[in-house]
Structure 1
Amino acid sequence: MSVDHTTRPNPALRGTWRLEPAGSTVEFTGRHFFFLPVRGSVPVRSGRAELGTDGGLLRLDAAAGAAGFESGNPQRDTAVRGPRFLDAERYPELRLTGERLLDEDGLGLAGLLEVKGRATPVTFTVDELTVRGERAVVRAGALVDRHACGVGGMRGLVGAELRVRVRAEFVREG
């Protein structure tokens, strides 16, 4: 069953869903020198979502590993994991806490993105929600201001805006 992305989740989705890290991804695109694209990813560690009887969001928590940041350039990756950017040694996780589902202009998720201990509001637009039996896959994207998240290194060389793409695979619990 596929759910049209312009509608709110169906009450049939109620219950608790566990995020499957192996089937999930967090990818980003940023700009170096403000025009050269830089692509990369961070590994998904864990997550759980709970939907109420009406299909509304009761809880969403997800974590990705900052130390696993990868862009294909080892020198850049080491720098981004370091204290000027993600400070992965002190802050090993990037966390997303969902606050509510949005359905004004299609399905979305409003939440808080925690980077380096700082929680910043973020809104994801859901492009696809596919449910097959006890599995659900969500594809969503957001624009994130890295400076607002406390990631301010190389302001003159690296753009502030990151385009984040998420593929989240969930399995129903119980």
Structure 2
Amino acid sequence: MTSQTTAPVLPLPAGNWAFDPFHSAVGFTIRHLGIAKVRGRFNRLDAALVVGETPAESSVTATVALDSVDTGNADRDAHVRASDLLDVAQRPTMTFRSTRIEGAGADWTLAGDLTIGDVTRPVTFAVEFGGVVESPVDGSTHAGFEATGEIRRSEYGLDFAPGLLGEVVRINLDVQFVAPPKA
């Protein structure tokens, strides 16, 4: 008896889904002095979701403006943007391009290349699919996702103040996309 395997099907209609910046956020957490966490977010994010017939034919891209960092403290934010940390003059963006999407139901994995400045490294995000719903405001179809992953600062040349700041940065994304218009 031969077994038949089928490719997983994405729970979304195929097409180019529009990013919804008003209902999306990218946040991060990093340890300070090894004893507490500092949380922040980036206020400018753009993303694209192309849904194919299978996950292998689908892709996600995203760009974060690093100068939009917001930790709730203006002095700290200015320091994070400075040349000894993010150096936004030399590294204005962080970009992600998917290389693999797999999963089923509510649990997915999104693997890809994350670039900060001139350094690109692989990263994997655990993705929770929140579902699809029709907006009662305008009837548009929205899909929601939560993604979490970690990077190591030193792998991107962001090795300022070891011991003061943690090595691991946890990234959290809550994003919505809007389905392409129906033909």
- TM-score tier, shorter chain, comes to 0.7 to 0.9
In the TM superposition, 1:122-161 aligns within 5 A as 122-133=123-134, 134-161=141-168
Letter in 2 for 1:126: V
Partner of 2:52: 52
Partner in structure 1 of residue 115 of structure 2: 114
Q: Can you list the C-alpha shifts for 1:19-60, whole angstroms capped at 9, x where unaligned?
A: 122211011111010121100001243111112112445322
Q: Give yes or no for contact 1:57–1:101 (8 Å, CA) kept in 2.
A: no
Q: In the TM superposition, what are the counterparts of 1:99-110 in structure 2 within 5 Å?
A: 99-103=99-103, 106-110=107-111
Cα deviation, 1:59-84, whole Å, max 9, x if unaligned, reads 22111110011111222211111112
CA contact 2:32–2:165 (8 Å) conserved in 1: yes
Identical-residue share of aligned pairs (%): 27
Cα distance in structure 2, aligned partners of 1:22 and 1:150:
31
Say if 1:80 and 1:86, in contact at 8 Å, map to a contact too. yes
Note if contact 2:29-2:171 (Cα within 8 Å) is conserved in structure 1: yes
Paired residue total: 166
Pairwise CA RMSD: 1.9
**Residues 160-169 or 13-22, more deviating:** 13-22
In the alignment, the residues of structure 2 paired with residue 48 and residue 17 of structure 1 have an alpha-carbon distance, to the nearest angstrom, of: 7
Give 1:32's aligned amino acid.
Answer: H
Which residue does 2:138 correspond to in 1?
A: none
Q: List 4+ stretches of structure 1 deviating above 6 A.
A: none
Other structure's SS at 1:22 match: helix
Shift of 1:11: 5.3
User: Residues 37 and 57 (structure 1 numbering): CA distance in 2 closer, same or farther, change over 3 Å?
Assistant: farther
Instruction: Measure, in 2, the Cα distance between the counterparts of 1:173 and 1:116.
Output: 32
The one-letter code sitting in structure 2 at the alignment partner of 1:83 is: S
Secondary structure in structure 2 of the residue aligned to 1:87? coil
> What CA distance in whole angstroms lies between the structure 2 residues aligned with 1:121 and 1:129?
25
Cα separation, 1, equivalents of 2:28 and 2:70: 10
Q: For residues 150 and 38 of structure 1, what CA distance do their matches in structure 2 show? A: 20
- Do 1:24 and 1:44's aligned partners in 2 also have CA atoms closer than 8 Å? no
Unaligned runs of 5+ residues in structure 2 are 1-7, 135-140
Contact 2:58 2:101 in 1 (8 A): no
**Of the two, which has the highest radius of gyration?**
2
Tell me: CA distance 1:172–1:75, structure 2 relative to 1, closer, same or farther (3 Å): same
Q: Using CA pairs under 8 Å that are at least 6 residues apart, name the structure with larger relative contact order, 1 or 2.
A: 1
Following TM superposition, by how much is the alpha carbon of 1:101 offset from its aligned partner in structure 2, in angstroms? 0.7
User: Residues 42 and 65 of structure 1 are in contact (CA less than 8 Å); yes or no, is this contact kept in structure 2?
Assistant: yes
